[in-house]
A and B are shown apart, each in its own frame.
Chain A
Amino acid sequence: MTEPLLTNPTKLLPGAALEEEDLSGQNLHGVNLAGARLIGADLSRSTLTGASLDGANLASCQFIAADVRANLMGANLMQADLSEADLRGANLRGANLMRSRLHQTALAGAFLSGANLMGGNLQGADLRGADLRGANLSGANLQGANLMQADLQGAIVTEANLEEANLQGANLAGANFAGASLLCAELEYSNLDGANLAGACLVGTVKA
């Protein structure tokens, strides 16, 4: 039987081993779990504001509807479920979010430069003003996502699904959209200088 974590705060330390732990609904505000191993842990509906999770291994973790306005720089979030979570302004630079679920996740103003979001599900995610410079969104599903004023300079968006996405005022300079579907995407005031649109579907966009 696992001890309740809040009565045993000594477990919440940098580098801690918390694989498969049930931490759902817990208030973990400001904890320092940098470099900790939390593979498969359940953090749904938990509060992680101001927490340090940089470099942590959070593969396959569940963060459903959790408040994760935290530092996740370089964390491993492969196949994690972050649906409806709050990641506004979170630091996700260089994080690995491959095949993660970010369905309707709040990522407005989040720092995702250099992050790996290959094959991720970001349907309806709120990415307004997010920093996605050099991020890899290859094969990701961004259908209906809100990317207003987001910065995708040099991002890899090949074969991604951006149907009905809102890219108004986004910086798409030098981004690679080869084979992507931008069907009915909103591209007003966006910057497409040097973007690669080879084989991309631009039907129904205001700009095309």
Chain B
Amino acid sequence: MLEGSILYQLKVAHQPGQVGKRPLNFGVYYKNTLVALCHALEDCILECQSQPLVITAFQRGKWYLEEADRYADLAARSQQVVIMAAPDAGFTEHPTSQRENVELVSLRADDPVAQEWHLMILAPTYAAMVLCQELMSEDYGVQGLPTQDLERKFYGFWTFESNLVQETIELAIAHIEPYNPSLAAKLKTQVQQIAQAQTQTQVRDDLGMIVSRVVDYLQSSQLDLNGNSTQHQADAYLASLDTNLIANEVQAFLRMAQLTDQADQLNPNAAAEVATLAEAIGQLLNLPVWQLNRLRLAGLLHRLAPLQQSQTVLTASTFGRYADDDSNTAPSCPLIPGAQVLRTMPQLRAIATIITHLTEHWSGSGQPGNLAGDAIPLESRILGLLIEFQQHLAIARQQHPDRPDHAITALAACQQDSSDRWDPKLIETLALLVGGFQQGLQLPVNSPKISAGLWMIDSHCADDLYEVTP
């Protein structure tokens, strides 16, 4: 990794042991994936409720010129656009470059940032970032150098986390300073204003729409790949590119779910902990491996459902907004927006169904489908119970950090409404697991490695859980 590059500086700031900073997980991206990803995140600017600051690094001016017409539209909806690139002919002359709110930073050829591909978008209502560096020729190793432009490899990460975007923008501004001190001063003021507006308004663009667009653009790239496969291209090359696109579709959902966790200061580990508990319960029930995998992925994604947001962790006895709803006469299943977003990816159809039915009751009095007993998907029953259990666990830890019996307290809270709300068999299995905890069983809770998201989906995640039963 190039010292002095923005990715390097950010990595150093997040080295293990840095207080308050989470180590960053990097992933591998083909140019093909980056183009689709950046186009999607950029096009969201056109529908953004506020005007963003956009800072980009294009490696060379010629790559910017390929996008310069699009950037005219983006600049029209932005507060400020900054383009960093090593200059090529025509770089400064393009009409977009002449716009009042577009600033060019001509990087020196030996500037490490000239090897990087960045897109940073920060607005009061929207934040997104792609931060990558191209592989050096020696790093391609035994696979050899790519023969196609779209096969060029980058590594880095992308995110919707606005604090991370702001941190990176500040690094970029520091990098711009020696080139153009007055621009740097102007950008600093703009960042401060945006950060202030973020805390004042709390309004955010609909992330579900943004994620849908990301998935849509990545899927289009997959179609393009497969449409062009008649040429003499190696299958392995196409498969790698295709895999990379699907992996990032899954990542889009995982990154969306991650934001809910991070916004919940009292229970920021819910997704990872629920997924781990679910896997343990699944093992006790001797579920087949494919179902364990599906359970784990649904656990990681369960916070996509907005019912988790509308509820504070301290009112845990009824989780979910439907539980308070007296009318059992819903004419049809209400749509769960978070689960609907998942349906943009057919490979995750079963996961969407599982998440939709998390709030059913064993007795049949739950929503959205009034399903009862074994008609509720098993994974929905397991996860519904474990979400409740984990919330009680988080409360118990917070209220009595010194006591060793958090799991017993949480289990007792779930047992209170076992006959009505939960599957009694699952309450028994959970009691077995809690007994294990009392005897010293420990489950390592690991945050998922989001960059490797693809490996969590297999063929069963696409199953249609309801079309087969009446």
CB distance from A86 to the nearest CB of B (A): 4
- Are B446 and A67 closer than 8 Å at their CB atoms? no
B455: chain A residues at CB < 8 Å are 104, 123-124, 144-146
CB distance from A163 to the nearest CB of B (A): 5
A93 contacts B by Cβ under 8 Å: no
B16: chain A residues at CB < 8 Å are 188, 206
- Are A144 and B454 closer than 8 Å at their CB atoms? yes
A86-B288, A201-B139 as given contacts; A186 in contact with B25, CB under 8 Å: yes
A166-B449, A184-B26, A186-B449 as given contacts; A84 in contact with B1, CB under 8 Å: no
- Give 1 or 0 for each of B125-144: 1 = CB within 8 Å of chain A CB: 00000000001100101110
B28 contacts A by Cβ under 8 Å: yes
A131: chain B residues at CB < 8 Å are none
A86-B288, A183-B135, A204-B1 as given contacts; A159 in contact with B454, CB under 8 Å: no
- Are B1 and A181 closer than 8 Å at their CB atoms? no
- Are B141 and A201 closer than 8 Å at their CB atoms? yes
A37: chain B residues at CB < 8 Å are none
- The chain B residue with its CB closest to the CB of A106 is B289
Cα distance A67–B288 when bound, in Å?
Answer: 8
CB distance from B283 to the nearest CB of A (A): 9
B136: chain A residues at CB < 8 Å are 203
A86-B289, A88-B289, A204-B155 as given contacts; A188 in contact with B139, CB under 8 Å: no
A179: chain B residues at CB < 8 Å are 141-142
- Are B142 and A183 closer than 8 Å at their CB atoms? no
Query: What DSSP secondary structure best describes chain B's contact surface?
Result: mixed
What number of A residues sit within 8 Å (CB to CB) of B?
34
A1 contacts B by Cβ under 8 Å: no
B458 contacts A by Cβ under 8 Å: yes
Contact of A184 among B23, B28, B288 (CB under 8 A): B28
- The chain B residue with its CB closest to the CB of A200 is B141
B155: chain A residues at CB < 8 Å are 183-184, 203-204
A164 contacts B by Cβ under 8 Å: yes
Cα distance A157–B360 when bound, in Å?
Answer: 48
| Chain B CB within 10 Å, residue with most, of A86, A104, A145, A180 | A104
Interface residues on B, range: 20 to 34
CB distance from B244 to the nearest CB of A (A): 10
CB distance from B249 to the nearest CB of A (A): 15
Cα distance A205–B28 when bound, in Å?
Answer: 11
- Are A65 and B452 closer than 8 Å at their CB atoms? no
Cα distance A117–B455 when bound, in Å?
Answer: 20
CB distance from A54 to the nearest CB of B (A): 22
A118 contacts B by Cβ under 8 Å: no
A88: chain B residues at CB < 8 Å are 289
Cα distance A179–B458 when bound, in Å?
Answer: 30
A24 contacts B by Cβ under 8 Å: no
Other CB < 8 Å A-B pairs besides A124-B454, A181-B143, A184-B27, 20 of them?
A84-B290, A88-B289, A144-B247, A145-B455, A146-B452, A159-B142, A163-B28, A164-B449, A164-B451, A166-B449, A166-B452, A183-B135, A184-B25, A186-B25, A186-B449, A199-B141, A203-B1, A205-B26, A206-B15, A206-B24
Q: List 28 A-B contacts (CB under 8 A).
A: A84-B458, A86-B289, A88-B289, A106-B289, A124-B455, A144-B455, A146-B452, A146-B455, A159-B141, A159-B142, A161-B143, A164-B28, A164-B452, A180-B141, A181-B139, A181-B143, A184-B25, A184-B28, A184-B451, A188-B23, A203-B1, A203-B136, A203-B139, A204-B26, A204-B28, A204-B155, A206-B16, A206-B23
Hey, which bits of chain B sit against chain A, CB under 8 A? 1, 15-16, 23-28, 135-136, 139, 141-143, 155-156, 247, 288-290, 446, 449, 451-452, 454-455, 458-459
Hey, which bits of chain A sit against chain B, CB under 8 A? 65, 67, 84, 86, 88, 104, 106, 123-124, 144-146, 148, 159, 161, 163-166, 168, 179-181, 183-184, 186, 188, 199, 201, 203-206, 208
